[in-house]
Structure 1
Amino acid sequence: MNFSQSLALHYDANHWQPSPAAGVWRYPLEREQAESGHVTSLVRFAPNSHFPEHLHPLGEEFWVLEGIFSDENGDYPAGSYVRHPPGSRHRSFTDGGCTIFVKLNQFSPDDGKWLKMLPEQELWITGHKGYRRLPLHQHNGVHTSVLHFPQGGLFPACCYKGGLELLVLEGSVIEGSETYEHLSWLRFAAGSEPNLQLAPDTKLWVRTGHLANLT
């Protein structure tokens, strides 16, 4: 929770922790308090499991990594991105099992937009630098997207200002002597200038600009 420090976490399958709900496991990355406050984590649902209805005081967003995640508003297959605004609540469940990347209580109070983007609604943009971008959301200088680097290469330095957060969806990220593969998570403080090399066919969930005013 010290946002002035950069950190990088290799994925370790031994770090999953049980949640209060049977069949639901969590892999904490950022956690302000045990069951409330600012949270970033992976969440894994066993088949036919559910999490009871709960409130999102400052919003919830998630990216479905595998399987089909569901709530009262519908089903979300792998590759879906959903935002529930501050003050919303839902009961989540799955029939066949799923894994999601979720961020809780991190919205601006004035960001009240509901958003549901399913895989068939994706609109990829190909940039002149050879990578593809799937815009997910932007608000007050904070940008969320998925980036795909078919040929690999260097991560664009323009994304460092204001902080940078990455989840490795496919491929790998190399920083110095370390290689971060599938489900590794990296966060770089505002003002940092990491040198990130990307393997061919690397795909990343990316957020920029959100750490400038956090300490």
Structure 2
Amino acid sequence: MLNMDFSQRLTLPYDASRWQPSPAAGVWRYPLEREQAESGHVTSLVRFEPHARFPEHQHPQGEEFWVLEGTFSDENGDYPAGSYVRHPPRSRHGSFSDEGCVLFVKLNQFAEGDTGLLHLRPGQDLWITGEHGYRRLPLHKHAGVSTSLLDFPAGGRFPPCCYKHGLEILVLEGHLSEGPTRYPALSWLRFPPGTVPGLEADNHTRLWVRTGHLQPVTRVE
């Protein structure tokens, strides 16, 4: 098990030495949280070298990913950087990348009743300007769990409401700071309910954010 105590605060600045080979040649993993070696709850970065392939496989409790760099492909099409995809529980696919790509991937984390397929590509988005001066791109919402992109100007700060039921962040662009500590792109942070960190954008900063999910969740069997 890796980082599976959701009651604990966790901040992981990006460290390029943490990449590990996967069972498929040319596919690399950067583990963030993991229940078991090759199954169960998993959050990770995944890197495909050019022309790398991962054989067909099933996701018993769903798969979602955000394409950070390059273009990811499977039987359903091509997903360039800036795409957000959700494959429902018990779905199957093989995957590959002709040019190479980097993904942020979450496996086997769909809640009960969350069975929808979602393919959101660049150009299909609708940003909303919030009252605190940042922009938000809603990606998905189910049973009190919300997934969004947040885009902050320099000096932008999280409103306290974002922390109420737990908060998970992947820094996509720019730098996020908490006091003297700075988190560059690809840093991953997780805060349990009740935590109120003072997070501020050093410069123009874009984040993948999930809230409301660090309470007990019933999974699809």
Per-residue CA shift, 1:118-140, capped at 9, x if unaligned? 00101111112110000000000
2:137 counterpart SS class: strand
The equivalent residue for 2:125 is 122
Instruction: Output the amino acid matched with 1:162.
Output: H
TM-score (norm 2): 0.95
Whether contact under 8 Å (1:126, 1:132) holds in the other structure is yes
The equivalent residue for 1:46 is 49
The one of 178, 182, 187 aligned to 2:185: 182
- Aligned mates of 1:21, 1:67 — CA distance in 2: 19
1:158 counterpart SS class: helix
- Aligned mates of 2:184, 2:206 — CA distance in 1: 11
- Structure 1 residue 41: deviation in Å? 0.2
Structure 2: give runs of 5+ residues left out of the alignment. none
The one of 90, 105, 108 aligned to 1:105: 108
Whether contact under 8 Å (2:133, 2:156) holds in the other structure is no
Structural RMSD (CA): 0.9
The equivalent residue for 1:73 is 76
The equivalent residue for 1:158 is 161
* Aligned sequence identity (%): 70
Structure 1: give runs of 5+ residues left out of the alignment. none
- Aligned mates of 2:18, 2:171 — CA distance in 1: 17
2:61 counterpart SS class: coil
Which shifted more, 121-130 or 56-65? 121-130
Instruction: Output the amino acid matched with 1:81.
Output: Y
2:123 counterpart SS class: helix
User: Which of structure 1's runs of 4+ aligned residues deviate more than 6 A?
Assistant: none
- Aligned mates of 1:156, 1:77 — CA distance in 2: 31
Per-residue CA shift, 1:50-101, capped at 9, x if unaligned? 1111111110000000000000000000000000011111101010000000
- Aligned mates of 1:87, 1:190 — CA distance in 2: 30
The equivalent residue for 2:176 is 173
The one of 10, 27, 30 aligned to 1:27: 30
Whether contact under 8 Å (2:61, 2:110) holds in the other structure is yes
- Structure 1 residue 193: deviation in Å? 1.1
- Aligned mates of 1:109, 1:99 — CA distance in 2: 29
- Aligned mates of 1:6, 1:145 — CA distance in 2: 21
- Structure 1 residue 161: deviation in Å? 1.0
Whether contact under 8 Å (1:58, 1:109) holds in the other structure is no
- Aligned mates of 2:152, 2:26 — CA distance in 1: 35
Confirm whether residue 58 of structure 1 aligns to residue 61 of structure 2. yes
Whether contact under 8 Å (1:43, 1:99) holds in the other structure is yes
The equivalent residue for 1:198 is 201
Aligned residues: 214
Per-residue CA shift, 1:134-180, capped at 9, x if unaligned? 00000000000000012332112110011000000011111132100
TM-score (norm 1): 0.97
Instruction: Output the amino acid matched with 2:133.
Output: G
What does residue range 87-98 of structure 1 map to in structure 2 within 5 Å?
87-98=90-101
Which shifted more, 136-145 or 193-202? 193-202
The equivalent residue for 1:132 is 135
- Aligned mates of 1:81, 1:12 — CA distance in 2: 24
